[in-house]
């Protein structure tokens, strides 16, 4: 029995995107969030960060903590 794995499944057609010299980044400025509208306290409050190419972002916490 021969088995093949398609490692590109779910990536879409990456060849369809034009090549670019863009330097992608993510900038988040002063955000706050809470689990529900009725929650009296913000779970995350006044958070700002920049993620540049090559940076690593890790979201850590106990299992079930809602990461």
- State the pLDDT confidence band at 11, using cuts at 50, 70 and 90: low
Exposure of 33 in the CB half-sphere (CA atoms within 13 A): 9
Residue 42, in any domain of the structure: yes
The residue among 33 and 17 whose pLDDT is bigger is 33
Q: How many domains does the chain have?
A: 1
The string of pLDDT tens digits covering residues 16-30 is 767 778 788 999 999
The residue among 5 and 63 whose pLDDT is bigger is 63
Nearest-angstrom CA–CA distance, 29 and 47: 7
Residue 37, in any domain of the structure: yes
Nearest-angstrom CA–CA distance, 43 and 60: 15
Domain of 30, in residue numbers: 23-51
pTM: 0.51
Nearest-angstrom CA–CA distance, 49 and 66: 20
Nearest-angstrom CA–CA distance, 2 and 5: 10
């Amino acid at each position: 029995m021969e088995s093949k794995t398609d490692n590109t499944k779910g990536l879409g057609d990456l060849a369809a995107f034009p090549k670019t010299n863009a330097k992608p980044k993510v900038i988040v400025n002063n955000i706050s969030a809470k689990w529900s509208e009725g929650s009296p306290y913000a779970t995350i409050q006044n958070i700002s960060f920049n993620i540049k190419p090559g940076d690593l972002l890790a979201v850590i916490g106990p299992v079930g903590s809602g990461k």
